[in-house]
Amino acid sequence: MAADILNQLAEAVVDGDDDLAEELAYKALEEGVDPYDAIVNGLARGMAIVSDQYEKGEAFVPHLLLASGAMYAGMDILSPEMAKEGEAMQAVGVIGTIEGDVHDIGKNLVKTMLSAGGFEMIDLGADVPIEKFVETAKERKADLISMSALMTTTMTNMEKVIEILQEEGIRDSMKVMVGGAPVSEEYATGIGADSTHPDAMHASAWASEAVKELEPKAARWSEEKINLGKIKYREILAKKTVSDKVDIGLETANKIKEEFESIGVKSKEEMTHIDRTVSAMSDKKVDRLPVYPLACGVLRKFAGVNYRDYATKAEPFTQSAFLGCKYLDLDMFVGLADLSATSADFGCKIKYPEDDTPSSEGHIKDYEKIEVPELKEGTRGYELVMASKMAKEKLNKELNTPFVGFHEGPLLTLTQLMGADRVLMDMKTQPDVVLEAVQKCTDYICQLSELFFNEDACDALCIDNLWSNNVIMSEQDYWKFDGKFVYDQHIPIFKKYNQPYIIHNCADAVHFETQIRKFGTSLYSYAYYEKSKDKGSQNYADLIPKYGDICCMMGEVNPVEFMDGSAAGVQKVKDDTKTLLENVIPVLKENGLQSKYVMSSGCEIPPGGPLTTVQAMVNVVKELGPELQKK
């Protein structure tokens, strides 16, 4: 009988049915099933099944999130009973995504698996201030801190948390686990963490064992232990060089400017930027392949403006684009201000930190409150078009450089507006409501694209159609909740104005068939991560043969590399650019093509990064490109 209920609890979690999980949790208590057993061998087992399906590519993120909701629904009923019965003391874990980083889907999965593993989890959310981790760990005498970072730009903040724990003598009072896509074992050990793991399931399994090694709580949180801890780490901390925070973007911009003023553009080239880029898109003869690492907001350093002004005002935006293209000699500029222009107009607040990419916060709670805004003066959409128009005119006239406008696609607008987790789950539980909301977002972005074209505000327009990542969503769901809207309503506007459809995706493992072949996309900016190849990340050698007939691919030097402005970092960008260039040209040739490729980074260069790496990529293509192209 007990075994039946445990199986049913597991099934309720696998099915993501929170009502049933709740009902079964009550039933388990009535029938005298041990609440601890019901959690571990019922709810948590169900979660482990779904997690395993996800790792094998048989389930997607919405499924995981729903299963997690059902698990928590059951746990809310069973956990208090467990405490009443004085079961084993629960370990306390503090979890969050580190400051500057709003990615929270992976962190939520880690939290779920830790809860399933028996931890009481205190979730600080995403973009968590460094000190908040320490304060909370102290308040709750935590056994574990679990920090996630999805971006190379923010992962360094995890080290700062560990340094404060060391300074305060409490580092050894708990286990510290760090993780997220860019975090390696070497990095984790280097910053003084205990461990890192590639996924939520392994992370939870490790943590459950690791906390058993800790001394009893009273001993490790005692004053004596803390004082000893302060002494132990004093020496290590003293060795770390205290460097004043330098504005690496500004410093490198000044260096490049000085160099330019003294020697000017290094070489005179045969083609103008605009001719080269347009020719490459249609596979015509070029002097060399075009190059544009996706440097957008980071170019503001040449104009000495802050991020908010770059993203929201026409003059600083134009000056940043113009000076960046002039000093770096870029073959195009993509007018990406942030990923929240459209969601801001629907009513969501935007946060503009100076060195990190802006993020949307203050999400709307109620789908019924979503109303299609009027695209008029004063809206972010309208101002973006006007700023783009000003930048386009200046870039075309003074540098012969093409300006590519940029805005978010329908589903990205909605997830920025309502929060990603929420929308991904609602797709399964109330699909019609989500579809209605996506329709409203589509209405607005269609208006916005029309305004771009009517105002002649760009040479071409690029759309961020983000959610086609094949780990997050199945092809079917992507089609239903984004693709179909794009195909039926958005792309016809491009056709009406005789404009190429251009996509920047922000993700690496994409449903390319839909986004390239079905959409008839002309230029596709993609990222490639070798370690995700088995999950569907594809490179030039995969993509050119498949899509070179209809689409110009734009990639793929790892964007993460552009953050390292040291001599070794700059050299790495140079080497990888050279390798890519040398390899892409023969692949083009093998496929009957001559120039249909743009040398780029797979993602936007973070706004706080150095500009010397951007310059390095451009210079390598300029230096080696013509010779290689002739061959």
Please give the Cα distance from 504 to 466 (Å, whole number): 8
CB nearer ligand B1M, residue 8 or residue 558: 558
Quick note: the x/- pattern for ligand B1M over 299-338, rule CB under 6 A, is ---------------------------------------x
Determine if 348 is a binding residue for ligand B1M (CB under 6 A): no
The residues in 420-439 that bind ligand B1M, with binding defined as CB under 6 A, are 420
The residues in 53-82 that bind ligand B1M, with binding defined as CB under 6 A, are 61
Determine if 609 is a binding residue for ligand B1M (CB under 6 A): no
- Side-chain-side CA neighbours of 211 within 13 Å: the count stands at 25
Kindly tell me which residue out of 191, 334, 414, 603 binds ligand B1M, with binding defined by CB under 6 A: 603
Please give the Cα distance from 563 to 573 (Å, whole number): 10
What does the DSSP 8-state code read for residue 244?
P
CB nearer ligand B1M, residue 373 or residue 419: 419
Q: Which residues have C-beta within 8 Å of that of residue 288, sequence separation ≥ 6?
A: 269, 276, 621, 622, 625, 626, 628, 629
Apex CA 460: angle with CA 277 and CA 506, to 5°? 90
Determine if 178 is a binding residue for ligand B1M (CB under 6 A): yes
Determine if 463 is a binding residue for ligand B1M (CB under 6 A): no
Kindly tell me which residue out of 146, 173, 465, 515 binds ligand B1M, with binding defined by CB under 6 A: 146
Q: Which stretch binds ligand B1M (CB under 6 A): 246-254, 281-289, 501-509, 570-578?
A: 501-509
> Residue 71 in 3-state DSSP?
helix
Please give the Cα distance from 556 to 508 (Å, whole number): 10
Determine if 507 is a binding residue for ligand B1M (CB under 6 A): yes
> Residue 518 in 3-state DSSP?
helix
Determine if 104 is a binding residue for ligand B1M (CB under 6 A): yes
Please give the Cα distance from 231 to 139 (Å, whole number): 22
Q: Which residue from 581, 578, 583 is spatially nearest to 542, judged by alpha carbons?
A: 583
Both tokens of 268, joined, read 């005179």
Q: In what order do the strands lie in the sheet containing 597-601? A: 333-334, 403-408, 460-464, 501-504, 523-525, 552-557, 597-601
The residues in 185-224 that bind ligand B1M, with binding defined as CB under 6 A, are 196-197, 199-200, 203
Determine if 101 is a binding residue for ligand B1M (CB under 6 A): yes
Q: Which residues have C-beta within 8 Å of that of residue 410, sequence separation ≥ 6?
A: 438, 441, 442, 445, 482, 485, 486, 490
CB nearer ligand B1M, residue 506 or residue 617: 506
CA dihedral 523, 318, 417, 181 (to 10 degrees): 60
Determine if 404 is a binding residue for ligand B1M (CB under 6 A): no
Instruction: Specify the long-range contacts of residues 236-243, CB closer than 8 Å, at least 24 apart.
Output: 236/166, 236/192, 237/163, 237/166, 237/167, 240/163
Quick note: the x/- pattern for ligand B1M over 358-397, rule CB under 6 A, is -x--------------------------------------
Determine if 508 is a binding residue for ligand B1M (CB under 6 A): yes
CB nearer ligand B1M, residue 414 or residue 457: 414
Q: Write down the least CB distance from residue 94 to ligand B1M, Å.
A: 11
Determine if 42 is a binding residue for ligand B1M (CB under 6 A): no
Q: List contacts with ligand B1M (CB under 6 A).
A: 61, 100-107, 109-110, 146-148, 150-153, 177-182, 196-197, 199-200, 203, 338-339, 356-357, 359, 420, 466, 469, 471-472, 506-508, 527, 559-560, 602-604, 606
